[in-house]
Chain A
Amino acid sequence: MTLALYRIDDRLIHGQVVVGWGQPLNCSFIVLVDDEVSSSDWEQDLYRMGVSPQIEVIFASVEQAAAQFSDWEADARVGILLVGDVETAVALAARVPQVKRFNVGGVHHRAGRTERLRFVYLTDEEASKLRELAARGVEVTAQDVPTARAVPIGEFT
């Protein structure tokens, strides 16, 4: 198979990802791309606790992800790629042209961000980066769980 879902979600590995998407997709591995988490043993330990032992969790920085991307795409199993913020998604897409879609699954409130959807809060800069990403041919939609509608980028940025 291949990477079935590319998701921007600031909670990274959580219930919507593992149960909401992971179960119906029969996901066997999760690639978590985050520069900070990839260098933090205790955080990696925590995130591993969030999935069942049958699911492999791979931690990578953006650079490592760019180098290993083709291996994950060629993997016979179904996988999910997760990034924690818009910046990482943009950096990854810039280095890996094969990334053709991103699902904004959850970006929550912080100072400077305004509500775009009930599960998407963005600064103006983040919204503009997502629009640029879409202009470069990446399909950007917002959808928290598979049973919800995929909201096109034009409706939330």
Chain B
Amino acid sequence: MILPVEVLLALVVWGTFVGVDLVSLPQMMIARPLVAGTVAGAILGDIPTGLKLGIVFELLQYDILPVGAVRYPEYGPATVAAVATAHASAGVLGLGLGALVGLVTGLTGGLTINLLRRINSRIVHAAAAQLESGDPGALVRVHVGGLLRDAVRAALVTMVGLVLAWLARPLLANALTVRGAVILAVAAVATALAAGAAGTLRLVGRGPNLAWFAAGLGGGLVATLWLR
């Protein structure tokens, strides 16, 4: 995958915005894979690929419930990297390879979020005396420092993802047979669908909403069959 410098730069900037949006600023949900993927696709001039990978990672996102301080993977910059990978390899091969690169990037992103929170904890702990003095300047400095660190983290995760995207084609694509590419894509889509369904059922629970879920599932199945 060799992309023009301005496109690479745009992807890094977009991935950084997406990564910062997840937790820090402004949480307007550009971090959702549907949005991150579609815009990454638009940057690459390939919106259909952005939409497909966006849906794969959106389904995986349902597996995550960001309640309290739970640890979770980060699928925003991951989707940007996935779309960049898929764009370079057309069709089913792109879907499978893109998902693989995105999953590794998502894992990396999640680890860096945990690391950032630990670093922030140490900095807040060290600044406790200043914070307790009621100095608003100290409060703002600690806070803005956290924001900037998150921006650097998000940029680095996006860059790692794009490096993986660049490596994926020579290392993996050429080694895969046509059937192998399909198997990889099947694995990615199947596990994403399973994660989406299992995660949704955790949200739905076993109460009255389960009937609504079943009704939706039935309606979706009828619509799918009818459209065929």
- A: residues with CB less than 8 A from B are 11, 14-16, 19-20, 22-26, 54, 106, 115, 118-119, 144-148
Contact = CB atoms under 8 A, between A and B. Distances in A.
A19 B65 contact: yes
A119 B69 contact: yes
A14 B70 CA distance: 13
B67 A145 contact: yes
B65 A145 contact: yes
Interface string B207-219: 1000000000000
A119 B67 CA distance: 12
What DSSP secondary structure best describes chain B's contact surface?
Answer: loop
A118 B121 CA distance: 10
Contacts, number: 50
A5 to B, nearest CB: 14
Interface stretch (B48-56, B77-85, B146-154, B198-206): B198-206
B4 interface: no
Contacts of B118: 118
Contacts of B121: 115
Contact of A20 (B65, B71, B114, B204): B65
A119 B68 contact: yes
A26 B206 contact: yes
Given A26-B207, A54-B207, A118 B202 contact: no
B68 A14 contact: yes
Contacts of B70: 16, 20, 144-145, 148
Contact of B68 (A24, A26, A115, A145): A145
A20 B206 contact: no
A106 B68 contact: yes
A23 B68 contact: no
B61 to A, nearest CB: 14
A23 B71 CA distance: 19
Contacts of A11: 68
Most B CB within 10 A of own CB, among A24, A115, A148: A24
Closest 9 CB pairs of A and B: A23-B205, A15-B67, A26-B206, A16-B68, A16-B67, A20-B67, A24-B202, A145-B70, A26-B205
28 contacts: A11-B68, A14-B67, A15-B68, A16-B68, A16-B70, A19-B65, A19-B67, A20-B67, A20-B68, A23-B204, A23-B205, A24-B202, A24-B206, A25-B205, A26-B206, A54-B207, A115-B121, A118-B69, A118-B114, A119-B69, A144-B69, A144-B70, A145-B65, A145-B67, A147-B65, A147-B202, A148-B70, A148-B71
B41 to A, nearest CB: 31
A81 B70 CA distance: 21
A149 B71 CA distance: 12
Nearest to B210: A26
Contacts of A148: 70-71
Interface string B119-138: 00100000000000000000
